[in-house]
Amino acid sequence: MTIKGGCLCGTVRYEIAGAFAGAGNCHCSMCRKAHGAAFATWAFVDPDEFRWTSGEDSIAAYRSSPQRERLFCSKCGSPLAASHSGKISEVVLGAVDGDPAVRPREHIFVGSKAPWYEITDELAQFEQWPPGMGQA
d(CA 23, CA 34): 18
Euclidean distance between the first and the last CA atom of the chain, given in angstroms as a whole number = 30
| Among 3, 16, 23, 28, interactor with Zn ion by CB under 5 A | 28
- Does residue 26 bind Zn ion (CB under 5 A)? yes
Smallest distance, Å, CB 39 to Zn ion?
8
Q: Which residues pair with 53 in a beta bridge?
A: none
Rounded to the nearest 10°, the torsion over CA 68, 40, 97, 43 is 60
Q: Which is nearer to Zn ion, 18 or 130 (CB)?
A: 130
Site track for Zn ion across 73-102, x = CB under 5 A = x-xx--------------------------
Kindly report the backbone phi and psi dihedral angles of residue 111, in degrees, each rounded to the nearest multiple of 5, phi listed first.
Answer: -65, -15
Instruction: Report the DSSP pairing between strands 79-84 and 3-6.
Output: unpaired
- Does residue 34 bind Zn ion (CB under 5 A)? no
Q: Which is nearer to Zn ion, 18 or 129 (CB)?
A: 129
Q: Which is nearer to Zn ion, 76 or 101 (CB)?
A: 76
On the 0-12 / 13-18 / 19+ scale of CB atoms within 10 A, 103 is: middle
Which window, 16-24, 31-39, 45-53, 120-128, contacts Zn ion (CB under 5 A)?
31-39
- Does residue 7 bind Zn ion (CB under 5 A)? yes
Site residues (vs Zn ion, CB under 5 A)? 7, 9, 11, 26, 28, 31, 73, 75-76
